[in-house]
Amino acid sequence: MRPAVALTLSSLLSMVLFSFHWADEISRGMESGQMGSIGGIVILVVWLVGTVVLAERRPGYIITLLGGILGVGVLILHMQGAGLISRSIAGTPGIFFWVWTLITLGVTSALSVVLSVLGLWRKLRSP
């Protein structure tokens, strides 16, 4: 599989997993579902544009790199105690899905980071 195709797929999968995870947090009351959450929608739209519209271009690689870093950041924040280790969520119904989306989001986002860096490296080295 070409790295550009793998990057597109991993970024799209990361976006889907991020939206599932975010929706699960809203439904549990961990996040607000109000207009203040519009920033997450903007992030997803920019990430989607970078992945689909700007694919294989330098700005697209930069956007997918930042999106991947944010996705890995979600995993790191939760593993440091923001929600995951909290007693309020442990043992609640549906916790497996919440944790599964968190872990797979981190993995697919890490892959996006690696593929974005490789794509940027190739762009910088080519004339």
Q: If 0-12 CB within 10 Å is exposed, 13-18 middle and 19+ buried, where does residue 54 land?
A: middle
- N residues, the chain: 127
Q: What is the pLDDT along the chain (127 residues), one digit of tens a residue?
A: 898 999 999 999 999 999 998 888 888 777 777 777 788 899 999 999 999 999 999 999 999 999 999 999 999 988 877 655 555 666 777 788 888 999 999 999 999 999 999 999 999 888 7
Domain-wise residue ranges, the chain: 3-125
Q: Per the structure block, which two tokens stand in for 26?
A: 């809203």
